[in-house]
Structure 1
Amino acid sequence: MTSDTVLRNHTVVVAEGRIVSLGPARNALIPANATRVDGGGSRYLLPALADMHTHSIDARELALYASHGVLTILNMGWSPDSFVARERHRFGSGKLFGPVVFEGRRMNQPFGNTSGVATIAQAQDTVRYAKALGYEFIKAYSFLSDTVYDAIMHESARVGITVVGHQTNSVDLARGLKAGLRMIAHAEELRATIGVPLTEAGADSTVRLFKESGAWLTPTLSTFEAITNTWGSPTQLEAYILDAAMARLPASTIARWRGNGYHRQTGSVADRNAAYVEITRRLHHAGVPMLAGTDGPGIPGMLPGVAIHDELRLLQSVGMSRYEALATATSNPGRFIAHYAAGRLPFGTVSMGARGDLIVTSANPLQDLETLREPELVVRLGRVFTRAQRDSIRRAIQ
């Protein structure tokens, strides 16, 4: 994923979890005890995918991501500290079948019985705690006060942890990006700036601010498409729930889908959806770097490992080539993590030293990204998993 060119008749060797050799097959030196995968015929090898906006800690959900070839995720809040400090590393190391999990510590104003940060001191303490525990990011949420937001930004810069997240209600986009917000999660979060319906002045201002700041966007277009489909439609909700049950998602996830209440709403949000698609189109054409993310599985229809393909479909609809869309789930996440959470094993490309997380497809994804929905093989840190093996692992997880 460094160019949109297929390198034919090449051999890739993975040892101890990383790529140690690659080049023309005629020159390959393959260890005698290596597991060999024949790439003859119409097989294609590419980096495993990344979903850069998730909320998953359940072993069944994490196995679903990996089974579909999504071997990196970025959890954007709600993970218990025990998962962040210990449990996620069992998946990252390959001891359990699942993806590498990066974590963003969600910070928001307290509401009702929910905890949060209401003071400058609490903001500073929470940032320091998150850094010490091993979070890769701070996620600023929608309802922070401006003084607490500023404290989060200042303390994060001081201790060296990157802030990503929402355009908060109290701080406009210009101020947030200037303060150091490095990635906006959801095109939806730009609504106060772009207007709904989208205005030309709002769109132009948004594009300019992103270009000046160098900030990234995770559009999550598939998320709001699913919300739009479910809005006022109990029938659509039940269809999504049937898919979830067939995928063996936890009952708690299905209950959350029912509790979201989108199916009980009236009217339409199609105008909002159109605005979010259009601003994503304009930001892409302006060269703003983007990451693929789904907000799954908390939103009805956002199945782990499956919804990412709807995101890639929608990113193509805003003008991305198949290669550009694929990059949002491979090399772009690798670049983003390398820059803002340095020190991790490189991923997202088939290159020397990169993490040995790969997928094998039976057709060329640069001709049709739909082939990625059912990878023939998933390679996790050099270990090869067939479809049958992946299905067996998923069935065994309770």
Structure 2
Amino acid sequence: MKLLTLIAATLPFLGSPAFAQTSQPQPTAITAFVSVNLLPMDSDRIVRDQTVLVENGKIVAIGSAVPIPDKARVIDGHGAFLSPGLADMHVHSDTTGDMLVYLANGVTTVLNMGEASNGFMAEVRPEINRGKIAGPHVYAGFLVDGTPQYGHFVVATPGQARAIVGLAKTNGYEFIKVYNNLSPASFQALIEEGRRQQIAVIGHGVTRVGLERQLDAGQVLVAHAEEFFYTTFAHPDKKKPAASEQMNSAPDPAEIPAAIAFIKRNKAFITADIITYATIAQQWGKPEVVERYLHMPEIRYVTPARRIRWREDDYAERKGSLNARLEFLQRFIKEMAQADVPLVTGTDAPAIPGLAPGFSLHDDMRALEQAGLSRYQVLSAATRTPGELIRRSVPNAEPFGTIKVGNRADLILSAKNPLDDLATLRTPLGVMANGNWHAEPELHALLDQVATKYDRAFKP
């Protein structure tokens, strides 16, 4: 099939509501989860044999003897485990197909980190967030940079930076995402205007500012833990090694406490994205790895257009190795967790070759556990702490991330206790998102729907 034909076949999936919809039926007003073991995620505990009552998408009652209204839909957990839905706080998905895949993986919240299509933002996202079509609740950041080097939206002056904050807010974005090449003056203008208009700044390390100054100024989230390599641990007063040496070297672990100190001083959030850096390191200079990604089982749920972009990415052409830096990153994230730095999970899927929507979040959780975090710490980064980030940053946002009366009913039902085995969340018995309950057979059907449509795009 010719390239243009293949891309054309993908167009129905690029933010158009026609793909998933199959508009959802109106959700049952009241749902009762009975005989469930509860992981409220307010602390490291299990509450056995509970009933959770949900009305119009919100948790209205929790207890062992909650009266169940006659008109309620009853979901008998039979001793299964009910925990908050998962959050991927760094995605680049703006297709309805991706939203179905996230949902089928128990992901009930995503933060789009930039350059979502206007069709997705203006048409699809509102429908998902209202529960009219299936998917996780979507928050979004408007991405700005200071030069066109990376192909992003550019602001060249403080005046342009201030104007873009208002434009982003008018168009429904919750965040401004800053990128590497902003000028210090434009960065400061984004911070000040964001504070005035109540739209928080998140994102990368800005090379000419540095993360310590960024967080001191008010940036609330660092979008990758590895950003500290570029603006914190790489000191400008040190002799810079050759590029190949730099890739094979890691910072001195003795520098970690100082970084943690300024993070905690500002109560900033850090994206614990081990799987992102590990996946880049795995394919760095190895074209055969990217080819392997294009044949992994999860590839069926990656858009055809994205598969083309994966093959065209240039990580496989790089020289050197990132392995030493990956080991340092694992240590850095573990030490941040031990110091109670608020970590959130995020994957950069599907922008990085090898990271499929939804599936990659489970891989990140596994990687965090392998790095030495407790399962409760990992699950907190995927549930409670994202809720805290949104509560602190987005005015009047619905609370989520814990199972508590008044919270949005983002829920995942699993056969086993996730605090014993996080892998149980890969195969949910059901997921509730945006007021809609999706039982296991429906989740499988959503994945099949996506795979079937994408398979057709590859047929001659």
1:11 equivalent to 2:60? Answer no
**1:316 alignment partner AA:** E
For residues 238 and 139 of structure 1, the distance between their equivalents in structure 2, rounded to whole angstroms, comes to 32
**1:12 alignment partner AA:** V
CA-to-aligned-CA distance 1:65-123 (integer Å, 9 cap, x gap):
00111010000101123432332011111211111100011011231675411111111
1:365 equivalent to 2:434? Answer no
Q: CA deviation at 1:239?
A: 2.1
1:322 equivalent to 2:375? Answer yes
**2:100 alignment partner AA:** A
Look up the match of 1:210.
Answer: 263
Q: CA deviation at 1:286?
A: 1.7
Look up the match of 2:10.
Answer: none
Q: CA deviation at 1:225?
A: 0.6
Look up the match of 1:94.
Answer: 131
Look up the match of 2:337.
Answer: 284
Look up the match of 2:32.
Answer: none
For residues 28 and 200 of structure 1, the distance between their equivalents in structure 2, rounded to whole angstroms, comes to 52
Q: CA deviation at 1:367?
A: 0.5
For residues 316 and 297 of structure 2, the distance between their equivalents in structure 1, rounded to whole angstroms, comes to 16
For residues 249 and 179 of structure 1, the distance between their equivalents in structure 2, rounded to whole angstroms, comes to 38
Alignment match of 1:312 (pick from 365, 378, 381): 365
Q: Which range moves more in the overlay, 189-198 or 151-160?
A: 189-198
For residues 436 and 124 of structure 2, the distance between their equivalents in structure 1, rounded to whole angstroms, comes to 21
Q: CA deviation at 1:249?
A: 1.6
Look up the match of 1:60.
Answer: 97
Alignment match of 2:201 (pick from 163, 187, 196): 163
CA-to-aligned-CA distance 1:354-383 (integer Å, 9 cap, x gap):
112211111110101011111111123443
For residues 248 and 304 of structure 1, the distance between their equivalents in structure 2, rounded to whole angstroms, comes to 8
Residues 44 and 361 in structure 1, CA contact (< 8 A), matched pair in contact too? yes
Q: Which structure 1 segments of 5+ residues have no match?
A: none
For residues 193 and 435 of structure 2, the distance between their equivalents in structure 1, rounded to whole angstroms, comes to 39
Greater than 3 Å deviation, 4+ residue runs = 112-115, 394-398
For residues 294 and 2 of structure 1, the distance between their equivalents in structure 2, rounded to whole angstroms, comes to 24
Alignment match of 1:293 (pick from 331, 342, 346): 346
- Report percent identity of matched pairs: 36
Residues 101 and 301 in structure 2, CA contact (< 8 A), matched pair in contact too? no
Q: CA deviation at 1:336?
A: 1.0
For residues 153 and 387 of structure 2, the distance between their equivalents in structure 1, rounded to whole angstroms, comes to 32
1:229 equivalent to 2:282? Answer yes
Look up the match of 2:169.
Answer: 131
Residues 89 and 100 in structure 1, CA contact (< 8 A), matched pair in contact too? no
**1:210 alignment partner AA:** I
Give runs of aligned pairs for residues 98-177 of structure 1, distance below 5 A.
98-111=135-148, 115-177=153-215
With over 3 angstroms needed to count, the CA separation of the structure-2 counterparts of 1:199 and 1:81, relative to structure 1, is same
Q: Which structure 2 segments of 5+ residues have no match?
A: 1-40, 235-248, 454-460
For residues 70 and 385 of structure 1, the distance between their equivalents in structure 2, rounded to whole angstroms, comes to 12
Residues 359 and 375 in structure 1, CA contact (< 8 A), matched pair in contact too? yes
TM-score computed with the length of structure 1 as normaliser: 0.95
Q: CA deviation at 1:169?
A: 0.8
Alignment match of 1:241 (pick from 266, 288, 294): 294
With over 3 angstroms needed to count, the CA separation of the structure-2 counterparts of 1:358 and 1:114, relative to structure 1, is closer
Q: CA deviation at 1:148?
A: 1.3
SS at 1:8 equivalent: strand
Look up the match of 1:48.
Answer: 85
With over 3 angstroms needed to count, the CA separation of the structure-2 counterparts of 1:378 and 1:114, relative to structure 1, is closer
Residues 194 and 201 in structure 1, CA contact (< 8 A), matched pair in contact too? no
With over 3 angstroms needed to count, the CA separation of the structure-2 counterparts of 1:377 and 1:87, relative to structure 1, is same
Give runs of aligned pairs for residues 367-382 of structure 1, distance below 5 A.
367-382=420-435
**1:7 alignment partner AA:** V
What root-mean-square deviation, in Å, do the aligned CA atoms of Structure 1 and Structure 2 show?
1.7
CA-to-aligned-CA distance 1:306-340 (integer Å, 9 cap, x gap):
11111112222333211111011111111111111
Equivalences, count: 395
Q: CA deviation at 1:246?
A: 4.2
Q: Which range moves more in the overlay, 325-334 or 75-84?
A: 75-84
SS at 2:110 equivalent: strand
**2:155 alignment partner AA:** V
